[in-house]
Structure 1
Amino acid sequence: MLRQRVITAVLLLAVLLPCLFAPVTLPFALFTLLAIAAAGWEWARLNPLAAAMAQRPVAAWASGALLGGLCLLWLARWPMPPRAALAGGTDPRLWQAGLLLWVVGLVIALRAGPTGWPRLPTALRWLLGLSLLGLAWLALVQARGIGVNFLLSVMAVVWTADIAAYFSGRAFGRRKLAPQISPGKSWEGVYGGVLGVAVLACVWLLLIDPRLPVDSPSLFRLLLQRGGAGLLLVGVLLLTALGVCGDLFESLVKRSAGVKDSSQLLPGHGGVLDRVDALLPVLPAALALISW
């Protein structure tokens, strides 16, 4: 299993890194478009519009193709320059509406729980998931347009929170966060995740932004410039919380569907949704925060 995970990761990085560091945004946008279309296929399998869809794979493939086609249409109609201005690109009200949609969606899902989620209208679940996936892809492309340093600082929030929460939970975890959804998560792990992201922000502000030849301000620099220490603190808390809730959201959906992984598209890693679940709410939320 470990060998399989390493091989998959190396192959993905071999394609992702050249796209990420390309002088224009288009290669990265196209590569991630394929990934988000695959995530749409996985979502449709986990939340079929009808019970018969589980026996009709073409319906799930159609959902992924629909999501990918809509994203491609947006890309063709609104091409992005090599570097998107911080105030340019997509209307910032989209990110603010997206943040609100995520908060409302998370409240609905987490209140329903694994047993209540399948009882929600199937069309609502299907549409909600595809809409949030499309929004995350738009945010990902916009973040890359701002700059690689900005994008990596946003993604590092999720990675750091996840790693810090794991070790903090293992060492100090006592109170379960959501035992019916993810028994391994604890409140102590969440606190450790917040602390880890706070340290990350300090490292980026004191070492990376001022001392390395970065191509753009980081998320933390922009939060500090636009709202001072208060907005920076709110950003750290909000983005860490959204990352945790995004992870819980996908775990809830998988548990209600009775599966361990969203798919086996990535050997050794599960599916695309398994890799990006925490990023989905964090990306639009980060753009919403800097738009204020």
Structure 2
Amino acid sequence: MVADQGSSLPSSPKSASSKELTRRILSAVVMIALALVMAYWGGWPFALFWLAAGIAIMVEWTDMTGIEPRRLVQAILGSGLAILTLLFLADASFGLGAAAGLAFLAAGVLATKGASNKKWATSSFLYASLIVLVPPIVRDHLELGILGLLWMFAVVWATDIAAYFTGRTFGGPKLCPSISPKKTWSGFIGGVVAGALGGVLVAWAGEKYGLSLPFGLLGTAIISVIASVASQIGDLGESALKRHCNVKDSSHLIPGHGGVMDRLDGFWAVCLIVAAVLLTIHFTA
């Protein structure tokens, strides 16, 4: 009876934490492998991969914020994201893509009830659009290509992993306790250092295989620091949204991680920086 009673006791917090970390690591390995395979493949499979991610993010965002009529708005906005992908694959002009995106955004906003909900619908589409478009654009870009994409991955992944483990190891003052109580300054600094190193290592390795980024190694180090900081700000921004919506995770799609938005919040911020640079070049070249 003693043995039976002992076996029925709940697992210790340490054991539960260990299982959660194992799930988190296994899920991360699978996601990283899938992202790298799709990046190598490129073309329409890669574009569809990011379309799926963008639609998942839009659905998570609109579910969290509770817009209505939810499924109708999600169908309109999801169709808009799909059209953006098709136009990209068809090599349509920037103007046509922008016009199509704005048309579907307007339709989704008009279908949404309530002024505040219209803002959430707008932000969900704009947020998801970056995830849908920027990675395929970078992958096909003549000066960036797969190396530019790998740089984005390396900075975000190194930042995320290092921030998690240095924060847990060293602890210390909280970074922004009102938004994310577990994040620390030690984790932030560790993430920035690792993100910069990750970005530079990718650029250095690329040069060994005849590939190069248009910034040089010093420029890559500087922009890697900026991207790492942006990645962590993106993480905090999503935490603020979840706190506003009173949810722990954007969804429960990925074991140990939550939703797609939970995994791509930092990557989204780097996409925003890359998009700003590419748009500046587009309109000034």
Using the size of structure 2 for normalisation, the TM-score is 0.71
Preserved CA contact (<8 Å) 2:249 2:259? yes
Matches of 1:198 and 1:8, distance apart in 2? 24
d(CA) in 1 for partners of 2:27 and 2:231?
24
Verify: 1:152 aligned to 2:144, yes or no: no
1:38–1:64 CA contact under 8 A, matched in 2: no
CA RMSD of aligned residues (A): 3.1
Maintained 8 Å contact 2:57/2:260: yes
1:273 — aligned with what? 261
Q: Closer, same or farther in 2 for the Cα pair 1:35/1:60, shift >3 Å?
A: farther
Q: Which residue of 2 aligns with 1:237?
A: 225
Cα deviation for residue 5 of structure 1 reads 5.5
Alignment of 1:1-292 (within 5 A): 16=35, 18-22=37-41, 24-49=42-67, 53=68, 59-79=69-89, 121-146=116-141, 147-206=145-204, 208-212=205-209, 216-217=211-212, 221-224=213-216, 229=218, 231-289=219-277
Q: Which amino acid aligns with 2:214?
A: L
Per-residue deviation, 1:143: 1.6
Unmatched 5+ residue regions in structure 1? 54-58, 82-87, 95-119
Say which one has the larger Rg: 2
The residue aligned with 2:112 is none
Change (3 A) 1:244 1:10: closer
| Distance (Å, rounded) in 2 between the aligned partners of 1:127 and 1:20 | 29
Change (3 A) 1:89 1:156: farther
CA distance in 2, matches of 1:71, 1:60: 16
Q: Contact 2:154/2:199 (CA < 8 Å) preserved in 1? A: no
Q: Compute the displacement of 1:282 (Å).
A: 0.7
The answer on whether the counterparts of 2:249 and 2:258 sit within 8 Å (CA) in structure 1 is yes
What letter is aligned with 1:34? A
Question: Structure 1 pair 160/80, CA: closer, same or farther in 2 (3 Å)?
Answer: farther
Count of aligned positions: 240
Residues 85, 132 of structure 2: 8 Å contact kept: no
Q: Deviations over 1:267-289 (max 9, x none)?
A: 44321111111111111312434
CA displacement at 1:197 relative to structure 2: 2.0
Aligned counterparts of 1:162 and 1:11: Cα–Cα separation in 2: 16
Tell me how far apart the structure 1 counterparts of residues 52 and 267 of structure 2 sit (CA, whole Å).
Answer: 16
How far 1:11 sits from its partner (Å)? 6.5
Contact kept? 1:48, 1:126, Cα under 8 Å: no
Equivalent-residue separation in structure 1 for 2:198 and 2:26 (angstroms): 29
TM-score by length of 1: 0.70
In the TM superposition, what is the alpha-carbon distance from 1:158 to its structure 2 partner?
Answer: 0.8
Instruction: Determine what percentage of the aligned residue pairs are the same residue.
Output: 31
> Which whole-Å CA distance do the structure 2 matches of 1:79 and 1:43 have between them?
26
- Label 1:155 to 1:62 Cα distance change in 2 as closer, same or farther (>3 A): farther
Deviation for aligned residue 1:137: 1.6
Residue 185 of structure 1: SS of its match in structure 2?
strand
Q: 1:173 to 1:223 in 2, by over 3 A?
A: farther
